[in-house]
Structure 1
C-alpha cells in the first residue's frame, strides 16, 4: 500500500544502544513496513548541544526537506534547534518527544531555562507531537502549552523474549539503562551496600553514554564493600542481554526521571518484579501490583524494597505473576508505527485540502 511520504530527522547513529534510539529505529522500520516512503535524515550527533557549524548544517538540511513530506523531528532537534531556523522549514513538522530536554538531570539553571524556552517555542511550530507515555503528554499540555488534540501517544512496542526464564542462584538483580546520571545507577550501588547480610548478585548493563559518569560509577563499584557481587557490565550484545533477562529474579532501576522506559516493558514481558522510583512515567508504565516504587535519590528506601523481595518469596512470586500478566497486554512495534502512520496520514490529508483550497481561490 502506498502511503504519504515522510522524513525522519535523527541526530547521530540510529544503531546507538539507548531506549530512544531503539524506539526511533523501530519506528522508522515500522513506517517503511506499512508502506511509507521514509527518508532517514541523519544529522550531527552533537545535539542537544551543537556547535554553531552543526546547528547551521542541521537547519539547512531541515529547510531542504521536500514540503510534500511530513517531517518527524527527534526530540533533541525539536527541543534544541534554533526557533528561527525551524520557522524556515517548508515541510509540515511532527515532534517525537521522549521527555522534555529541560527535565534532564544535572543541568545548570540558565541552561535549563534556555532549553525550556526553546522547546516551548518550537513545539508551537509543530503540526503534531508524538509522545511515548501519558506522563509526557501531561507535561506538554500543562507546561509547554501544546493543545491536547495535537498530541498522540505512541507507546513503545516489545518483542517476544527469545529465551525462557532460567533464574540463577543467588538471585540476580538486573539493571538496564544507559550510564548517565538520570538512570540512578549510583543510587542502586549505594542501596546494594545495605544488603550485605543477604544472598544476591547484581549486574548493571548500559551503554556508557556519559563517559565521566561511567568512570565515576566504575570507581564507586570498585570502592564498594560489595564489589565482588556487583558487575558494571557496560554495553553488552543482544544475546548477552537476553541471557541476563532470563537469569534475573528482580529488575531494578533507580531512575531519577523517565519519559517512558522501554526496559520496564522488557522486564514485565519476562515476568520480573520491578523495583524503581516513583518519578516521571514509571507509575504509568509499571503496574502497582508488579513492582515496588520508592522516592528517587533514596538508597535506604531502595534497599528496603530490594530486601522485601529477596526475603519474601511469596511477595516476589505475586509481583512476578502480575508483571507477566501486564506483559501480555503490551503492544508490538507494528502498533507503535500504526499510531505514527495515522498522524502522517492526517497531516498529509490536511495539506492536500489546503492546496486544493488555494488552487480554488486562485481560479476564483
Structure 2
C-alpha cells in the first residue's frame, strides 16, 4: 500500500480549539485510507508558525527520521515558518506543503513580522515538490508570486435542512473568536439594530486569543447586548448540528478568509449567509443554478454596512424568502469530501512517482 506521512499542528484533535484547517487535516487523513494510502499522522506541539526551539527541534528530528523518498504532506502552519528545518530535507523527501492561510495574511501582524513570515514561507514553498491550497483564491494569490499550485478545496457533508426559529431572528456566528474572524465588527453592527428582535450565538474557540475574547466581552457589555449576544465556546457533533438547525442566518465578519468552511456548512443546511466580501468568501458562497446569491455580502471592516444588511434581513420578508430559496438550491451543488480527497490523492501519487 502507498504510504504518506502527514505532519499536523499539535492541537489538531483538540476540540476546545477547532479550526477549519484542523477539520480539513483530520478529515483527509481519514479519507485517504479509502483511496489506497496508509496514512501516518504526526501531530507536533508548538507555537506555529513561530515555534520555540524545542518545537523546531522536534520537527527536525521527525523529518530526519523518515526514510529517503518518503512522501510527506506538511501542514503549512507547521512548515512555512521554519525553512531552516524543512529545506535541508527537501532533497531526500518528497515534500508537499498544504497552505490554508498564507502566513503574512494573519490579522494584526506588525509589518516587519509579516514580511519575515512571507520570506520564510516563500523559501519553504520553493523547496517543496508540491504546493497544495484549499481554494482557487489562494491558488491565484500564490500563482502571482510565481508558484505552481494544486487546489483541493474542503468538502461539505450533506445535512438536513435547518428548521430555524421564526425565520429571521436567530443568528449564528460559527467561528473562532479571534481578530481575523472580526466578532468586534459583528457586535458593532448588532449595537445599531437593538430596536429589532434578534439573538446571536457566537460558537467558536475562545482560547486562541484570550485578550481579544476579554475585550469582546467588555464590548458586548458596553454596547448593552448582554443576553442578546452569547459566546458559547466551541461546539461540535450534535451540539453544533443543533445550533445550525435552530438558526435562521449565519453571519461572518471575517477580516481575512481563504475559504470559509462555515459558509458551505450553512449552505448544506439551506441557511443563507451574511458575510464580508473578503478574499475567497464570495467564491465560496457562490451562486445557485439560476444565478441567485444565497446570502448577502458587504465590504470588509464596515460595521455600519453590516448593520444595514442585518436590518434588511430582519425587516424584508421577501428578501429572506429569496435568499433562503437560493441557499437551498446552492445546497445541491456543493462538492463532498470525496472530491477533495481525490484531488489530494492525485497530488500525493505525483509525489510518489517523483514528479512535481
Q: TM-score, normalised by structure 1?
A: 0.91
> In structure 2, the residue corresponding to 1:314 is in which secondary structure?
helix
> Which of 312, 322, 328 matches 2:326?
322
- Give me the whole-angstrom Cα distance separating, in 1, the residues matched to 2:74 and 2:315: 47
Please say if residues 5 and 68 of structure 1, whose CA atoms lie closer than 8 Å, have aligned partners that are also in contact. no
Equivalent in the alignment of 1:79: 80
Equivalent in the alignment of 2:118: 116
Deviates more, 1:86-95 or 1:247-256: 86-95
Ranges of 4+ aligned residues in structure 1 off by more than 4 Å: none
The structure with the largest helix share of the pair is: 1
- Give me the whole-angstrom Cα distance separating, in 1, the residues matched to 2:347 and 2:86: 24
Equivalent in the alignment of 2:185: 187
- Cα deviation code 1:1-52 (max 9, x no counterpart): x3x2111001213213111100110011111122201111111232112111
> In structure 1, the residue corresponding to 2:128 is in which secondary structure?
coil
Unaligned runs of 5+ in 2: 288-292
> In structure 1, the residue corresponding to 2:80 is in which secondary structure?
helix
Q: Are positions 1:278 and 2:277 aligned together?
A: yes
For residue 324 of structure 1, report the CA deviation from its aligned partner: 1.7
- Cα deviation code 1:320-354 (max 9, x no counterpart): 11122222111211221111111111121236xx9
> In structure 2, the residue corresponding to 1:264 is in which secondary structure?
helix
> In structure 2, the residue corresponding to 1:177 is in which secondary structure?
coil
Aligned positions, number: 345
- Give me the whole-angstrom Cα distance separating, in 2, the residues matched to 1:78 and 1:49: 10
Equivalent in the alignment of 2:218: 219
Please say if residues 131 and 150 of structure 2, whose CA atoms lie closer than 8 Å, have aligned partners that are also in contact. yes
> In structure 2, the residue corresponding to 1:345 is in which secondary structure?
helix
Please say if residues 220 and 229 of structure 2, whose CA atoms lie closer than 8 Å, have aligned partners that are also in contact. yes
> In structure 2, the residue corresponding to 1:329 is in which secondary structure?
coil
The within-5 A match list for 1:88-107 is: 88-89=89-90, 90-107=92-109
- Give me the whole-angstrom Cα distance separating, in 2, the residues matched to 1:91 and 1:159: 33
> In structure 2, the residue corresponding to 1:248 is in which secondary structure?
coil
Please say if residues 63 and 86 of structure 1, whose CA atoms lie closer than 8 Å, have aligned partners that are also in contact. no
- Cα deviation code 1:126-181 (max 9, x no counterpart): 111111111000111113x202xxx11111111122x5422113620110111110
Please say if residues 78 and 123 of structure 1, whose CA atoms lie closer than 8 Å, have aligned partners that are also in contact. no
Q: TM-score, normalised by structure 2?
A: 0.93
Q: Are positions 1:146 and 2:147 aligned together?
A: yes
Equivalent in the alignment of 1:267: 266
For residue 287 of structure 1, report the CA deviation from its aligned partner: 2.2
Deviates more, 1:113-122 or 1:340-349: 340-349
- Give me the whole-angstrom Cα distance separating, in 2, the residues matched to 1:233 and 1:324: 27
- Give me the whole-angstrom Cα distance separating, in 1, the residues matched to 2:299 and 2:244: 25
Please say if residues 251 and 275 of structure 1, whose CA atoms lie closer than 8 Å, have aligned partners that are also in contact. yes
Deviates more, 1:20-29 or 1:325-334: 325-334
Unaligned runs of 5+ in 1: 355-364
Equivalent in the alignment of 2:200: 202
Equivalent in the alignment of 2:42: 41
Equivalent in the alignment of 1:165: 162
